[in-house]
């Protein structure tokens, strides 16, 4: 069943009321708001992830679910798990359940994990191979060593742009729609004032005098309207110049998180570009409202250029045991 809520509180009510007796759902599936930079969808998305986490439910975020195969498809290729953070084995369980379905049955499983240069990659791989054997899962295990290279200029620039967009949003007093309405109201008021003035000086106009006053009013209104629209549209060059004046150096913590997201994204694109499905950990949502927009930028960098992605975050109490 698919439900569409007009209020961000709708999901909260559904999670709290869903279930029958002791039988309650433990997982919530959301869709990644692909156009979140131009809309307010990111606020409701963050709220939903927070609510699910507080209710100790697992959350799965699907990127572009409309592109996923339907029930008549028979997929072949790889199901890739990028196990960056220990989640209690939820992604392994999901993969096992997917492999039981006819759509994904013929796909092969690959498990990727990221290690530092100082880690014992051989021991990590042996432990994961033993885990797969104990869980009776047939999977290729790959341990990718992430180079501790310097942060690139691209990462600094992308982080700075994200922070600048956040600053612009915090300074905006009106939404784009409200801004356009106010601009129209100003124009209508100026138009009525100009019409009255023209009626009062009709004799001057009839004598062939230059009626450029109305043009001046229109130019001023157009200028004021364009300024207001540039405040609402983040892509305008005037807004970009204004943002550059706000901040010239990004926060170091944001730079590190963006650097991690960019590097993991490059690894995933390199190793899993042709995979039929990619699962990766969903980062923990921020506890401070001011970091919400930056959090969305991090996830965008993490899944950029990838198709058919599941971002997975457990509820904190999932356990996959090898004993049965």
The pLDDT tens digits of the residues spanning 162-200 come to 777 777 766 664 444 454 454 455 445 444 444 444 344
pLDDT at 216 over 60: no
Of 49, 244, 28, whose CA–CA distance to 157 is shortest?
244
Q: What is the pLDDT of residue 231?
A: 46
Q: Give the residue with greater pLDDT, 225 vs 21.
A: 21
pLDDT at 292 over 50: yes
pLDDT at 61 over 90: yes
CATH number at residue 126: 3.40.50
Is 202 a domain residue?
A: no
Give the mean model confidence (pLDDT) for residues 84-99: 86
The listed range with the strongest mean pLDDT (95-99, 156-160, 197-201) is 95-99
Which residues does residue 115 pair with via DSSP β-bridges, in sequence order? 145
Q: What is the pLDDT of residue 150?
A: 67
95: containing domain: 26-149+274-313
Is 12 a domain residue?
A: no
Q: What is the pLDDT of residue 318?
A: 66
Is 144 a domain residue?
A: yes
Of 268, 282, 267, whose CA–CA distance to 313 is shortest?
282
Band (pLDDT 50/70/90 cuts) for residue 276 is: very high
- In the chain, where do the E strands start and end? 27-31, 58-63, 78-82, 108-116, 139-146, 277-281, 309-313
Which residues does residue 110 pair with via DSSP β-bridges, in sequence order? 80, 140
Task: Measure CA 305 to chain center.
Answer: 13
Q: Which of 21-35, 179-193, 296-310 has the lowest mean pLDDT?
A: 179-193
Nearest-angstrom CA–CA distance, 280 and 258: 16
Q: What is the pLDDT of residue 158?
A: 77
Band (pLDDT 50/70/90 cuts) for residue 103 is: very high
pTM of the predicted model, to two decimals?
0.69
- Residue pLDDT, tens place only, 235-259: 444 444 444 444 567 777 788 888 8
Q: What are phi and psi of 109, to 5 degrees?
A: -100, 135
Nearest-angstrom CA–CA distance, 49 and 11: 10
Task: Measure CA 255 to chain center.
Answer: 17
Q: Which of 219-223, 234-238, 273-277 has the lowest mean pLDDT?
A: 219-223
Give the mean model confidence (pLDDT) for residues 219-232: 41
Alpha-carbon Rg of the chain, whole angstroms? 27
Count up the domains in the chain and report the number. 1
pLDDT at 67 over 80: yes
Is 81 a domain residue?
A: yes
Give the mean model confidence (pLDDT) for residues 91-114: 92
Q: Give the residue with greater pLDDT, 128 vs 224.
A: 128
Is 64 a domain residue?
A: yes
Is 141 a domain residue?
A: yes
Is 297 a domain residue?
A: yes
pLDDT at 135 over 80: yes
Average pLDDT of every residue of the chain: 74
Is 59 a domain residue?
A: yes
């Amino acid at each position: 069943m698919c439900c569409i809520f007009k209020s961000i509180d709708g999901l909260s009510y559904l999670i709290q009321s869903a279930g029958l007796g002791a039988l309650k759902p433990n997982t919530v599936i959301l869709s990644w708001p692909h156009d979140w930079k131009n809309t307010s969808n990111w606020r409701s998305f963050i709220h939903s992830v927070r609510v699910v986490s507080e209710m100790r439910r697992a959350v799965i975020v699907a990127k572009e679910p409309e592109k996923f195969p339907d029930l008549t498809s028979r997929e072949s290729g790889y199901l890739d798990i990028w196990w960056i953070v220990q989640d209690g084995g939820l992604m392994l369980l999901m993969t096992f359940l997917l492999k039981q379905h006819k759509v994904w049955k013929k796909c092969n499983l690959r498990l990727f994990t990221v290690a530092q240069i100082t880690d014992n990659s051989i021991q990590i791989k042996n432990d994961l191979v033993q885990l797969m054997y104990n869980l009776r899962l047939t999977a290729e295990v790959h341990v990718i060593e992430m180079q501790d290279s310097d942060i690139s200029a691209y990462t600094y620039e992308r982080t700075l742009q994200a922070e600048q967009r956040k600053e612009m949003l915090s300074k905006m007093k009106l939404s784009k729609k409200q801004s356009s309405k106010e601009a129209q109201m100003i124009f209508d008021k100026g138009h009525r004032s100009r019409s009255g003035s023209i009626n009062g000086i009709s004799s001057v106009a009839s004598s062939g005098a230059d009626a450029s006053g109305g043009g001046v009013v229109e130019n001023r209104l157009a200028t004021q309207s364009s300024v207001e629209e540039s405040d609402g549209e983040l892509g305008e060059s005037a807004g970009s110049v204004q943002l550059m004046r706000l901040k010239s150096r990004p926060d170091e913590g944001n730079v590190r998180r963006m650097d991690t997201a960019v590097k993991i994204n490059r690894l995933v694109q390199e190793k899993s570009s042709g995979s039929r499905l990619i699962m990766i950990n969903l980062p923990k949502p921020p506890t401070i409202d001011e970091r919400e927009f930056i959090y969305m930028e991090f996830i965008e960098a993490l899944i950029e250029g990838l198709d058919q992605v599941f971002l997975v975050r457990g509820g904190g109490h999932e356990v996959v045991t090898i004993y049965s």
